[in-house]
A = this chain, B = another copy of it.
Amino acid sequence: MLAIGEFSRLTHLSIRTLRRYHEAGLLVPATVDPATGYRSYGADQIPTAQVIHRLRDLDVPLADVRRILEAPDPAARGALVAEHLRRLEAELERTRGAVASLRRLLAPDPAPVHVEVRAVPATTVAAVEGDVGVDDVLAWYAGAMAELDAVVEDGDGAPGGLYDNALFEEGRGHVLVHRPTARPPRRGRVHPVTLPAVELAVATHTGPHDDIDVTYGEVGAWVVANALAVAGPVRETYLVGPRDTADPAAWRTEIGWPVFGVGER
Report if A197 contacts B (CB, 8 A): no
Among residues of B, the one whose C-beta sits closest to the C-beta of A170 is B14
A101 interface residue, CB < 8 Å from B?
yes
A219-252: which have CB < 8 Å to B? Answer: 220-221, 224-225, 230
Contact present for B9 and A50 (CB under 8 Å): no
Shortest beta-carbon distance from A141 to chain B in Å:
17
Number of copies: 2
| Residues of A participating in the B interface, judged by any CB pair closer than 8 Å | 2, 6, 8-12, 14-15, 43, 46-47, 49-51, 53-55, 57-58, 74, 77-78, 81, 85, 88, 92, 94-95, 98-99, 101-102, 105-106, 165, 168-169, 213-214, 216-217, 220-221, 224-225, 230
* A169 touching B8 in the complex, CB below 8 Å, given contacts A43-B221, A51-B102: yes
What residues of B have a CB within 8 angstroms of the CB of A12 in the complex? 168, 213, 216
Asked if B94 and A57 make an inter-chain contact with CB atoms under 8 angstroms apart, the answer reads: yes
A225 with B43: CB separation less than 8 A: yes
- The residue that A88 contacts in the complex, of B85, B99, B213, with Cβ under 8 A, is B99
